[in-house]
Structures are given as structure tokens and as C-alpha cells.
Amino acid sequence: MVEQKLVIEGGRRLQGEIQIQGAKNSVLPLLAATVLCKGEAVLHNCPRLTDADAAFRILDCLGCKCSREKSVITVNAEQMSNNHVPDALTREMRSSIVFLGAILGRCGHCRWSMPGGCQIGQRPIGFHLYALKRMGVVVENDGGFMDCTAPKGIQGAKISLPFPSVGATENIMLAAVTAKGRTEIHNAAREPEVVDLAEFLNKCGAKVTGAGGSTIVIEGVEKLSGGEHTVIPDRIVTATYMCCAAITRGELLLTKTKHDDLSPVFPIFEKMGCSVYCFDKDRIYVNARKAMVSPGKIVTHVHPGFPTDSQPLLMALTSVLSGTTIFEETIFESRFNHAPELIRLGAKIDVIERVAIVEWVERLSGANVRAFDLRGGAALVTAALACEGVTKISEIHYIDRGYEAIEEVLRSVGANIKRK
């Protein structure tokens, strides 16, 4: 198949309304959780993403009955017949690792290969394995595969994570809900997607308390039933379109979002002088008609700090704001892959290990650039909207992992963008 590109002619002010998609980082663990359900699980607001398609195929290959009707995915795992996910599927999506806890919870045995995913750092799985071993899982390496077995079933355990890893927290929760006894996760991730997973599991009969805080307690139950749940709105996609509005000095109403989950990014917009108004629980109006300035320093942290996933988008935006912006990346060791591509578009950025210094430039100009990862790719789209001339972005399969029809969404609010 010929690789597609996004072709963007910059310089148009965005104006209008965008309905925010469901969260990629929620739908994946939720789909993994359906493996534990003895009954039908119905998930609403599932975004159409290649990563969600990969999760769907994993379920299919496990022998679960899955169907999709627009944004509703229905999974029935009652007849699940397999506990081995093919190498090609686990490599396709790093977050497939979250299926490991769920399959072990369901079957007590799983054969797994090392996961793939974005090139934003080493992305090891040591915390996941450490936790599963504490829960009675024996892991043996066998020619690039891990053979994971719980000879006495999964046991509840006290687990203190060395770092509040999102994926490890979710994996432990999935393994623990039907384990024998009580599991405590200390130093747990507090991200909204972890809370969403806990809510779905509880709807299916699990006993999970404390999600959203640093200690999560799970009392194992015999089995989970089915359940119905709506995936939370994607906070990173919301931040992306806020940046697109800001960089084009436009004005956008973002609907079906959740402003509580964006509280770490609002202060940055305020410092930049971009007007952001929150209405009801789920609408955000962004108006960037006034001149904006650099917000100074942005340091990424775990939730409720400034999210690492929003860093590339803000880097694109701040490259055209007066003043110097300093980014410090504390979560992933190589998350500035987008910087050299932004430089091709005319940005002035110096990267020194985990710090990037962005100096104001008067204008960006279109060029051929390449996405290296999901959010870095979206940062190139954001920058291209403000470029003079045409930008062609290649390797857009990264962007399709997390953004539902990005070109249609942006075209609907006035951007000149095509997929070719």
C-alpha cells in the first residue's frame, strides 16, 4: 500500500465547533478488561483508531465475540478459547501489554512477546512483571517470548510501584480484580484513564477503591459480570485542538470533553494570554484573538502535573510565541523527536538531553516533514496550520493511532488539510 501523507496549507484561522472523541488511553485498557467479563460488555464512545482496531483484533484472536456499531463496541468473552496473542499484534501496539494482566486474571496462563509501540524511549515493562510476580505469577523467558503462569492462581498482594506507571497500575488492577484476596497498589498512577478503568470494573462487579489517589485497593471477587460504560473524552486530543486554535489565532468550541481532566494545561494557556472558558461540565471555548506570549517553563509530570503527551503540541505552539520557552521532560528519556522536524519548519529549538529551549521565530514555513511518534506527529500538524505555504507530513500512521480522522475534523473548522 502507498504510504499516505497529510498535506496542509497553513495560514487559516480555525473557527467553529469540534466534538472530542473518546480517549485512546482509556479504550485500550477497557477493551482488555472485557476479557475478564462473563457476560456482555458494551463500551460507548469508542474512537475509530488503528490502536483500538488492534485491540479489537487481539480480542478476536482470543476467541471473544466482538462487534462494532459506529462508536459502540460489544464484547462477549464467555467463549474465550485462547490465551496466546500473536507476536505481530503485540508488536503493533505497545499498550497491548495491558492484556497480559487481564488474560492472566482470566486464564492463569499466558504466552507473551515483548510489546512494540512509539519510539519515545525504552518503555520497559519491569514494573509490570515485578508486580505480577508478587501476585504469584512465574515468568520464564523462552526465545523472545515470556511464559507467564500462576501455578496457584493469582494472589492478592501489597505492591509498591517504584514509579506511578499508568500501564503497570492498570495491569495490576486487571490481574487483581478476580485474584484471591486483597491487593494494594501503593504509588499508583492517578491518571483519569485509571479512574475510568476502575469505574468500568466496578460496574461489572469488581471491588476497586481509591482510583485517582496514590493507593488503590482491590478486593478480589469470584467473577465479573458484563457491564455497560461510556469511554471518557480524550484529554490529549482536547489539548491538541486547543493548541490548533491558539496557533492559528482562531476560536474553537470543544464539546463532549471534560474540563476537570484538563486542569494541568489550563494554567499554561492562561500564562500565554489565550482565553479559555469552561461551560457546563463538558464544553471548552478557546479564543486566541489576542497576542500571546511564551508561558516560560513547562515541566512534564505524572497526573495531576502537566502531561508528557501534551508537551510536543505546546512545543509547536510556543515556537511562534514571543519569548523563550523551556521544556523539561521528566517522564520519557527521548521525547523530543518532533524538535528536528519543527526546526525544518523554521522553529528555533535547542535540545540538551531532557531539556528543550524554544526561541520565538516570526514565522514558520511549509516543508516536508516526518512523524516519528503519535503526539510528535500531531505537533507537526499543529505547526503546519501556522506555516506559510504547504507542509507534507509522512509516516502519518503514527497519528492515526490516536486521532480519529484528524483531517476531517480540522477541515470542518476551516483548515486546508488533505490526506493524499
Q: Which of the residues are catalytic?
A: 118
- Residue 112 to residue 129: CA distance in whole angstroms: 12
Q: Which of 16, 86, 124, 296 binds ligand UD1 (CB under 6 A)?
A: 124
Nearest Cα to 393, choosing from 352, 326, 342?
342
Nearer Cβ to ligand UD1, position 178 or 311? 311
Q: How far is the CB of 307 from ligand UD1 (least distance, A)?
A: 6
Helix axes 166-176, 126-134, angle to 10 degrees: 20
Grid cell for residue 202: 466496578
Please pick, from the candidates 39, 108, 121, 414, the single residue that binds ligand UD1 as defined by CB under 6 A.
121
Judged by CB under 6 A, the residue of 196, 261, 309, 407 near ligand UD1 is 309
Distance separating alpha carbons of residues 252 and 276, to the nearest angstrom: 10
Report if residue 345 touches ligand UD1, rule: CB under 6 A.
no
| Pairing relationship of beta strands 324-328 and 368-370 according to DSSP bridges | unpaired
Shortest reach from residue 198's CB to ligand UD1, in Å: 14
Residue 305 interacts with ligand UD1 (CB under 6 A)? no
Q: How far is the CB of 335 from ligand UD1 (least distance, A)?
A: 8
The least CB distance from residue 200 to ligand UD1, in Å, is 15
Among candidate residues 346, 337, 326, 341, the one with its CA nearest the CA of residue 386 = 346
CB of 53 to ligand UD1, least distance (A): 15
**Beta carbon nearer to ligand UD1, 52 or 224:** 52
Check binding of 123 to ligand UD1 (CB under 6 A): yes
Q: Binding-site residue total for ligand UD1 (CB under 6 A)?
A: 22
Under the criterion CB under 6 A, does residue 165 sit at the interface with ligand UD1?
Answer: yes
Q: Which of 20, 47, 409 is nearest to 233 (CA)?
A: 20
| 316: CB partners within 8 A, 6+ apart | 243, 247, 338, 342, 347, 379, 380, 382, 383
CB 329 within 8 A of CB 363: no
Of 222-261, binders to ligand UD1 (CB under 6 A) are none
Which of residues 173 and 253 has its CB atom nearest to ligand UD1 in the complex?
173
Beta strand 416-419 with 15-19 is unpaired
Which 166-185 positions form the footprint of ligand UD1 (CB under 6 A)? 166-168
Our finding on whether 364 is near ligand UD1 (CB under 6 A) is no
The amino acid occupying position 173 is: M
Q: Which of 8, 14, 18, 28 binds ligand UD1 (CB under 6 A)?
A: 28
| Tally of CB atoms within 10 A around 405 | 15
Binding window for ligand UD1 (CB under 6 A); candidates: 65-73, 118-126, 271-279, 378-386: 118-126
Please state, as a whole number, how many other Cβ atoms lie within 10 Å of the Cβ of residue 296. 13
Q: Please, what is the minimum distance in Å from the beta carbon of residue 26 to ligand UD1? A: 8
Report the distance separating Cα 168 and Cα 174, nearest Å.
10
Cβ pair 116, 89 in contact under 8 A: no
Backbone phi and psi for residue 112, each to the nearest 5 degrees, phi listed first: -140, 140
x/- contact string, 77-116, with ligand UD1 (CB under 6 A)? Answer: ------------------x---------------------
Residues of the shown chain interacting with ligand UD1 in the complex, contacts defined by CB under 6 A: 25, 28, 95, 121-128, 163, 165-168, 189, 193, 308-309, 331-332
